């Protein structure tokens, strides 16, 4: 059991490092282009910190380990809202901009509902198993495209704005971070999938359980690091935008691409995990709308919710 565990830890370490390097290079590139901080959080940082999930899912699809891909994305979404946002809000109350309340959180909730409906084939009388097929992947990508359209429109309307919070990098370092991060992500993704599959086999538990917990939290570490750094600099827009944007990227882009690459069967209890994702996304809206901030007690509530979810995983 030690060998697959070490392989999993090594893979996650490479994913975290690769995600950090991708973020540094991508944020430096975006800053040079004059992208506003909120848009950076919702797109560049969100995409960079979601890169580990994307690589893991593509490798899982190629390795016929689609349950690892399911657990990785859905577990990451749950961890992002309940564990990560709960932790940074407990550390420091997070103010929430109006656009996050009226647009980004509703979009995150809507795309979570769409993923649930598209997965629940048997609810609608389908003969085959519950799964996301290529057609479902196209629908999820269309949702994601709408999200991108609004963000691009906002960026154009805001004009060229830079942020003083970002340390300028030369083109050489920017490219080095981007290329090095990509290499680390590919190597880390391969090691993570292999380690998770081997560890699940030796422990005698479903692959999806290992993916919903160890792999999901591990691939969410870049989001935690980026959001904590933003919270320390009092950039709540960047911190919350990163988490909400990552979930939209995970569901719309990563699941969409994964379903196009190979149909993803929904594992046992998977619809329950999707219901948890919808419930957390919907619950975040009133938490963020009241007083336009997420207070410490609300952060503690989110953390308690994550603890309850993990306890449910253990029981089931």
pLDDT digits (tens, 9 = 90+) for 11-62: 878 877 876 787 777 777 766 767 665 566 556 666 666 677 778 788 887 7
Cα 160 to Cα 33, 34, 41, 42, 157: the distances in Å are: 7, 5, 16, 16, 9
User: Which residue, among 13, 11, 22, 23, has the nearest Cα to 228 in the 3D structure?
Assistant: 23
Q: Where are the domains of the chain?
A: 2-315
Residue 78 has pLDDT above 70, yes or no: yes
pLDDT digits (tens, 9 = 90+) for 208-247: 888 788 777 777 776 677 677 777 767 666 678 778 888 9
Look at residue 156 in the predicted model and tell me its pLDDT.
63
Residue 160 has pLDDT above 60, yes or no: no
pLDDT digits (tens, 9 = 90+) for 86-138: 988 888 888 888 878 888 899 999 999 999 999 998 887 776 778 899 999 99
Residue 163 has pLDDT above 50, yes or no: no
Round to whole Å and give the CA distance between 217 and 132.
23
Beta bridge partners of 294: 94
| Stated length of the chain | 316
User: Which tokens in the block code for residue 203?
Assistant: 């422990």
User: Which tokens in the block code for residue 76?
Assistant: 């990451």
Look at residue 143 in the predicted model and tell me its pLDDT.
92
The pTM of this model reads 0.78
Residue located via tokens 């691409």: 257
Residue 166 has pLDDT above 70, yes or no: no
Round to whole Å and give the CA distance between 145 and 142.
5
Look at residue 110 in the predicted model and tell me its pLDDT.
95
Least confident of 2-16, 163-177, 270-284, 293-307: 163-177
Q: How many CB atoms lie within 10 A of CB 111?
A: 27
Positive/negative CA dihedral, 51, 55, 60, 61: positive
Residue 162 has pLDDT above 60, yes or no: no
Look at residue 142 in the predicted model and tell me its pLDDT.
94
CATH fit for domain 2-315, picks 3.30.200.20, 2.130.10.10, 1.10.10.10, 1.20.1420.30: 1.20.1420.30
Residue 148 has pLDDT above 70, yes or no: yes
Least confident of 1-10, 31-40, 294-303, 304-313: 31-40
């Amino acid at each position: 059991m030690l060998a697959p565990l070490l392989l999993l830890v090594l893979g996650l370490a490479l994913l975290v490092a690769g995600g950090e390097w991708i973020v540094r290079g991508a944020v430096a590139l975006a800053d040079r282009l004059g992208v506003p901080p909120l848009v950076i959080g919702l797109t560049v940082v969100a995409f960079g910190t979601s890169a580990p999930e994307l690589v893991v899912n593509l490798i899982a699809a190629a390795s016929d380990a689609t349950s690892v891909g399911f657990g990785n994305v859905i577990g990451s979404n749950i961890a992002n809202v309940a564990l990560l946002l709960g932790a940074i809000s407990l550390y420091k109350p997070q103010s929430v901009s109006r656009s996050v309340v009226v647009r980004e959180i509703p979009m995150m909730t809507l795309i979570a509902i769409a993923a649930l409906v598209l997965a629940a084939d048997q609810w609608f009388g389908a003969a085959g198993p519950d799964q996301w097929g290529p057609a479902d992947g196209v629908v999820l990508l269309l949702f994601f495209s709408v999200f991108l359209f609004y963000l691009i429109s906002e960026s154009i309307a805001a004009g060229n704005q830079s942020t003083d919070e970002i340390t300028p990098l030369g083109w050489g370092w920017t490219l080095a971070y981007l290329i090095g991060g990509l290499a680390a992500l590919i190597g880390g993704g391969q090691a993570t999938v292999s380690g998770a599959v081997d560890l699940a086999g030796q422990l005698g538990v479903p692959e999806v359980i290992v993916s919903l917990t160890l792999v999901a939290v591990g691939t969410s570490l870049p989001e935690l690091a980026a959001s904590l750094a933003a919270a320390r600099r009092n950039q709540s827009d960047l911190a919350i935008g990163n988490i909400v944007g990552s979930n939209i990227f995970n569901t719309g882009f990563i699941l969409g691409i994964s379903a196009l690459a190979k149909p993803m069967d929904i594992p046992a209890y998977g619809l329950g995990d999707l219901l948890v994702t919808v419930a957390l996304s919907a619950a975040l809206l009133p938490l963020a709308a009241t007083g336009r901030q997420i207070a410490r007690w609300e952060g503690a509530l989110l953390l308690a919710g994550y603890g309850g979810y993990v306890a449910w995983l253990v029981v089931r």
